[in-house]
């Protein structure tokens, strides 16, 4: 099926507000057409530079202007990052996401160190993702040359509601950074946060902005706001689990090939709630006791949940569940001591349409 890139807000709202069981069934059906429903990627999010950010994002305790008692730190060393990555890999993570509390990347020694971190983790045969703020085209290219697999730059909300949460960076600034990443072979990770006081129409508006990108983002994190004392959004009520499930299901339907990442806010969710999110199409979580600065379930708890649900951690460099013909081709490469074709830069954004056609012909 061709990917639809002209979703309207009204169409997405109609999906979001379907009777719950119908929505769940449709999302689960689409999920199984494009992904292995029993495979979920485990990623580790590492704050390599914490606090002191000049932005005013209303949800973020890292903004220097808010009094959140956050303990900041300077940029970590390459060796520190490598040690954390090795721990993450040993715990089952196939992806390391490095976040720095910067408004935008500045060329110089710190960026050079980040590039070395990317090279170092890449050598561990793990996917490397970064979220560093705004990027120029040249900086995106340098990250790509270092071996970056994905760049995260969230839209956060709809363009209309965005202005209620952030004033120091415009919506178009975020789209421009995504555009600069798209000029390289780095995949795009972009999603948002629900529970910031936005309307259902705003949630749909965010999905319009993401789904009309061509190609659509390879990863879309769906975060539930974790209110932090000292931030403007500290008194927001927790997001109901039903809203999270609806958001995950709608995202899956609108962006069928995307990895939908169940991100911040999992400490507030029961295992049953998370299981329904997986059923609705979420196929990635972040492991570790913190997501940058907010609480997250312990990795051992997550592995217990995986065992209970019969879920398997996704291996690195697998964009999505693939037909048997592609698995056979990847096995051939691995037998020759090479990385699978989907881990190679020239194939990271390629869709496996040819293999799917062959599989249908054989059937």
Q: Is 277 a catalytic residue?
A: no
**Count of Cβ atoms closer than 10 Å to residue 6 Cβ:** 9
pTM of the model: 0.84
More confident residue, 329 or 243: 243
pLDDT bracket for residue 358 (50, 70, 90): very low
Q: Which residue out of 203, 261, 266, 277 is catalytically annotated?
A: 261
Q: Which residue out of 95, 129, 130, 277 is catalytically annotated?
A: 129
Query: If residue 192 lies in a helix (H) or strand (E), which one and from where to where?
Result: strand 192-194
Q: Is 97 a catalytic residue?
A: yes
Which domains, from first to last, does the chain contain? 9-313 (3.20.20.70), 325-362 (no CATH)
Contact 184, 143 (CB under 8 A): yes
More confident residue, 299 or 142: 142
Q: Is 129 a catalytic residue?
A: yes
Q: Is 130 a catalytic residue?
A: no
Q: Which residue out of 95, 169, 189, 252 is catalytically annotated?
A: 189
**Is 277 assigned to a binding site?**
no
- Strand 192-194 and strand 219-224: the pairing is parallel
CA distance 6 to 4: 6
More confident residue, 218 or 345: 218
More confident residue, 81 or 329: 81
In the beta sheet, which residues pair with residue 50? 73
CA distance 84 to 250: 34
Q: Is 57 a catalytic residue?
A: yes
């Amino acid at each position: 099926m061709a990917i639809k890139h002209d979703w309207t807000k009204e169409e997405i709202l109609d999906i979001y507000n379907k009777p719950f069981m119908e929505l769940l069934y449709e999302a689960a059906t689409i999920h199984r057409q494009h992904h292995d429903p029993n495979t979920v990627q485990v990623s580790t999010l590492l704050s390599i530079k914490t606090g002191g950010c000049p932005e005013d994002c209303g949800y973020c305790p890292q903004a220097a202007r808010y009094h959140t008692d956050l303990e900041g730190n300077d940029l970590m060393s390459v060796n520190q990052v490598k040690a954390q990555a090795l721990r993450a890999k040993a715990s089952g993570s196939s992806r390391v996401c490095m976040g720095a509390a910067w408004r935008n990347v500045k060329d110089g020694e710190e960026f050079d160190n980040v590039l070395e971190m990317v090279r170092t983790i890449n050598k561990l045969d793990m996917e490397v993702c970064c979220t560093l703020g705004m990027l120029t085209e040249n900086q995106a290219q340098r990250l790509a040359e270092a071996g970056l697999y994905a760049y995260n730059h969230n839209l956060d909300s709809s363009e209309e509601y965005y202005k209620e949460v952030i004033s120091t960076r415009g919506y178009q600034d975020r789209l421009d950074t995504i555009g600069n990443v798209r000029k390289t072979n780095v995949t795009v990770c972009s999603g948002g946060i629900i529970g910031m006081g936005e309307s259902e129409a705003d949630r749909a508006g965010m999905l319009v902005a993401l789904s009309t990108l061509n190609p659509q983002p390879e990863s879309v994190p769906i975060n539930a706001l974790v209110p932090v004392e000292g931030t403007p959004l500290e008194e927001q009520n927790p997001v109901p689990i039903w809203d999270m499930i609806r958001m995950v299901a709608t995202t899956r339907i609108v962006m069928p090939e995307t990895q939908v990442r169940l991100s911040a806010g999992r400490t507030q969710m029961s295992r049953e709630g998370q299981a329904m999110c997986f059923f609705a199409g979420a196929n990635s979580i972040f492991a570790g006791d913190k997501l940058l600065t907010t609480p997250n379930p312990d990795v051992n708890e997550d592995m217990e949940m995986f065992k209970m649900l019969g879920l398997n951690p996704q291996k690195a460099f697998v964009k999505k569940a693939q037909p048997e013909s592609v698995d056979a081709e990847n096995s051939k490469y691995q037998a020759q001591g090479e990385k699978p074709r989907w881990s190679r830069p020239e194939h990271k954004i390629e869709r496996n349409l040819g293999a799917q056609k062959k599989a249908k012909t054989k059937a």
